[in-house]
A = this chain, B = another copy of it.
């Protein structure tokens, strides 16, 4: 049996405020008539935004909050707003069983801290991790985790990330036996940090029917499609994620410069436009939006601060999918099976 998704939206969270978050939720609602929403934030702004989206209004309840967690707020400061801010109330709503997931485009560190405090980590998981999609040369995206929740880890944390990431990919991409690699600075056995080498040793033993451990992967192979899951501590993972984003933008900026450098190239650009539009679509971060906090008792999804409505809708769909497919119990099953030496089927 699958659950009907009711999702809390932190309407105040993104860089572009309420209209974008509401437009994103409306787009998701338009595509999925069973989605229900709890819209958390300034009720005047939300009501105004809903005027353009009667479909969403009919499927939503509003929870008022005029308190905002800002982007540069310290964690301790943010936590004091757990019961009053739009972000905090959206997460609390999961805890109270009023919604099955929460989506926010706000401060990642504050979200992590609030979610951990309110929902607690799953039994058997020491540290939750933030997992994000990245485009590859394949038709499938690759999932990278951790991309920012933990700056230091032990080997066992990396192993947990690998198991959670594999469970996530089995749900999100439908790959039965995801290829899981550890991000490292060399592909040879003796390269990198001790905890990574130790994690590799353990993962070699766990590799089996439902998790295919592929060894180490370097930064230049992230988008190659060789891995379905790339595991890292959160510092390098965040650097890698943002470097992919930044370099993709850099190269397309260079391309635009090149295409507008002469009349001849402008003409060529117009002719090739359908092709370059496909490229733009494939690289658009909005099409890979929705980073998930794995390892919590509840589904919390971080939308990119600068996401547009399509991006927010994508993040909402990621949240709904994880609720429907019950990610938390899937991870629990995998952990239990691994404790007994077997990883279960889908």
Contact = CB atoms under 8 A, between A and B. Distances in A.
Nearest to A194: B151
Nearest to A277: B258
Contact of A244 (B136, B235, B243, B279): B243
Nearest to A148: B185
A222 B246 contact: yes
Contacts of A241: 219
Given A268-B272, A272-B265, A279-B258, A250 B192 contact: no
Please state the number of chain copies in the assembly.
2
B254 A282 contact: yes
A254 B277 CA distance: 11
Interface in A242-284: 242-255, 258-259, 261-262, 264-265, 267-276, 278-279, 282-283
Interface string A228-243: 0000101110111111
Contact of A274 (B151, B223, B264): B264
Interface size for chain A: under 10, 10 to 19, 20 to 34, or 35 or more residues?
35 or more
Interface of A: 71-72, 74, 109, 136-137, 148, 151-152, 183, 185-186, 188, 190-193, 218-224, 232, 234-236, 238-255, 258-259, 261-262, 264-265, 267-276, 278-279, 282-283
A71 B278 CA distance: 39
Nearest to A245: B220
A47 B72 CA distance: 62
Given A151-B193, A235-B236, 18 more contacts: A109-B186, A137-B253, A192-B235, A219-B241, A219-B245, A239-B239, A239-B243, A240-B240, A243-B243, A248-B250, A251-B283, A254-B282, A258-B276, A258-B278, A259-B272, A259-B275, A264-B271, A268-B275
Contacts of A245: 219-220
A238 B262 contact: no
A231 to B, nearest CB: 13
A137 B232 CA distance: 29
A63 to B, nearest CB: 28
Contacts of A235: 185, 192-193, 236
A239 B236 contact: yes
Contacts of A193: 151-152, 235
Contacts of A192: 151, 235
A239 B183 contact: yes
Contacts of A255: 255, 276, 279
A282 B258 CA distance: 11
A246 B258 contact: no
Contact of A269 (B252, B268, B279, B283): B268
B267 A74 contact: no
B249 A220 contact: yes
Nearest to A247: B247
